A and B are shown apart, each in its own frame.
Chain A
């Protein structure tokens, strides 16, 4: 039998698709002296602060403490959009405070965002450090008793002496104080908006429960009492998602270093690259004045440092693609869009695996990938919920529109319009309750979703509700798989480091496209044919 031309072409394609990206990658790594870190972008976070206010007619003043470059924190260029005319920057007490002000009427906002790369640091507390003992010098700024950190309160003093006796090893003593504060039940301020919660050290100790701020203050009071200089830090935990809460932690001076202790995130004498300090001392993170109505949001999204300060100092090699990504970012293509673009071949590959290897049947071949893209902002549960809600809505609406007996495309246009209405409705409801996650997911794939429900009704009609249910479950699985791959930061980092790897994906697509074996789920579907007695062959 002659070798088929198709086979020859496939072999050639396989060799090319395998060798080409590998050769390019090896070449580039060798140019970077075999240090992959030198061609990889640094993972970091995009932080946005948004302050909305409403005033009849007044001078509005918004003050916000913003992070500054420090040894363990590198910041990218900040970008601001505001309705207020003036701005100013002041340094006070080691903090950098921005102030925006102006005459304004009605609604307005201040929005500022920047990229932050926080380093991962773990401190080891030397055994030679001992507890200095109570109030070695109460006039020093980081040892003093304040209104909220009542170092000299008898209850604080008694507990501090008990947990950290003078001369005990500092590491053990700090651990005992940390465990005590961390062991108190959590009291969220957001869940009890009407409730006044004591957030000072003594209040937290007396209630034996507290907020993150209250526990941090209690921790500060206890360590200060035993002679460790300690200061409050207010900042943000880099947990991707919209509308993150600010948190507080404590830094304790041990030898030459300020060592962080974050009870809220369970970080004892370490940071994990997610703590970004905004300001230190007992100051407010954000203030709007006069506060008629103001809302403060912090949004956090994963990103990478590809230009400017974010790659300086780390000696990125010329053979990295960072120059290209940086140039694209400068010319107005946001890095997150670029990342998603690079993730699309991966998502498409996942869709191929889902269909041709696993045999999952999903609504719309690429729908799992598109929903997964929509979900990168809000997280997976919202994506699954949004998919179900919008799907249900379209199905109901289609049902309702059936008596109109419309021709196909005008009908789809009507349904699409109604879907837009539904998604906007979700967004509006979300905005009222301060959660637009649901709407976020469906903004992008709305058209595909509408067409997918088209398939939904076809399957309902031709194969019955049981099959529809199966397909819905499989679609949810597909969305989850695509999401885990596409939103994975290491995957994105890999793609930004080795964009030539898409050729390998094409190779995999070619291999799967040439493979004609039995799909995984077909083994279940035809399990009766796999039974021990050999299948009767018909000769």
Chain B
């Protein structure tokens, strides 16, 4: 409450849990509303990141209105693989990963599904009318399809696993690798059953793991050990993370990075409201770290929230 001498962003509880109330306050104060579209809109995010030299998937084209849907043919050209994404979609909904070409169509998300051009046009129409963007009109992004490299040791993967790093004022605070499972339908969404693997940010090795059912030591589907594995290209991942944080005028971020086939990190998206489940995955609270950064001498460029 109104203590006067400490920032309300800094808590007094003995445990290190960062709760929703404090996270919301942090987001409210540190991620100015006018700048949030830079993270919420994937097209804007990619533009600004690319201009800062941060690796992102190559953009093939943007469809911004129904009139432009016709351009899709030219955008796709003779590409074997591509991805259609709603610019402001949430939790991976509305994304269509297509390819390779087959019988005049493209192989769709589920194996036996063949997408023809009219399927693509329909999906573009849905995206434009805001089906995946919480009822606001949206734009569709057509971009390079990323094929996963080995992200964590030699672990077998399905879908596109990614690394989520939470940063505050450019300081990486906590990280996890999210492994899609059959149960999660190939999505890197912890709620749907993906596995979260905690990462020691100093060494870039996995420490602990959990799914929505609790702690894990081994992958429930492939039975491989999950702790002690190195994250691929860790130094590059951390470098990319810092570059993303520098590029955006937002101070509290959840940065999602994939490891592409060439083992290089590629930024997938940036969240201004990253979830808190990462604390369970790492079996550690975020709050102490948050307090240290916001009050300590190592405070970011903008100093203490005052």
Task: State the A residues within 8 Å of B (CB).
Answer: 1-4, 6-8, 10-11, 14, 356, 359, 407-409, 461-464, 466-467, 511, 514-519, 522-523, 525-526, 528-530, 535-539
Contacts and interface: CB of A to CB of B under 8 A. Distances in A.
Interface string B2-21: 11111111010101110111
**3 tightest A-B contacts by CB?**
A518-B19, A516-B22, A463-B191
A2 B306 CA distance: 8
A408 B135 contact: yes
Given A4-B7, A409-B135, 5 more contacts: A8-B2, A462-B90, A518-B19, A519-B19, A535-B288
Contacts of A522: 17, 19-20
Interface stretch (B39-47, B111-119, B228-236, B278-286): B278-286
Contact of B21 (A464, A511, A518, A539): A518
A523 B191 CA distance: 18
Nearest to A538: B289
Interface string B140-174: 00000000000000000000000000000000011
B280 A528 contact: yes
Contact of A511 (B1, B93, B192): B1
Looking at chain B's contact residues, the main secondary structure is loop
A481 B189 CA distance: 33
Given A1-B306, A464-B191, A516-B11, A529 B5 contact: no
Contacts of A4: 4, 7, 306
B280 A525 contact: yes
Given A1-B304, A14-B2, A536-B284, A529 B279 contact: yes
Contacts of A11: 2, 4
A276 B215 CA distance: 63
12 contacts: A1-B7, A3-B5, A461-B93, A464-B193, A516-B8, A517-B11, A518-B13, A526-B279, A529-B280, A529-B285, A535-B285, A535-B288
A408 B135 CA distance: 7
Contacts of B276: 526
Given A462-B93, A462-B189, A537 B16 contact: yes
Most buried by B among A10, A515, A538: A538
Nearest to B10: A516
Interface residues of B, number: 47
Most buried by A among B4, B189, B288: B4
Contacts of A407: 129
A167 B174 CA distance: 88
B15 A7 contact: no
Contact of A537 (B4, B91, B192, B288): B288
A538 B201 contact: yes
A18 to B, nearest CB: 13
Contacts of B11: 516-517
Nearest to B305: A4
Looking at chain A's contact residues, the main secondary structure is helix
Interface of B: 1-9, 11, 13, 15-17, 19-22, 25, 90-91, 93, 129-131, 135, 173-174, 189, 191-193, 201-202, 212, 215, 276, 279-280, 283-285, 288-289, 292, 304, 306
Most buried by B among A514, A517, A526: A526
B15 A529 contact: yes
Contacts of B202: 538
Contacts of A409: 135
Most buried by A among B2, B25, B131, B193: B2
B284 A538 contact: yes
Contacts of B283: 528-529, 535
Contacts of B4: 3-4, 7, 11
B1 A530 contact: no
Contacts of A537: 16, 284, 288-289
Contact of A535 (B5, B6, B15): B15
Contacts of B5: 1, 3
A228 to B, nearest CB: 66
Contacts of A408: 129-131, 135
Given A467-B191, A516-B11, A517-B21, A535 B130 contact: no
B17 A518 contact: yes
Contact of B13 (A10, A359, A463, A517): A517
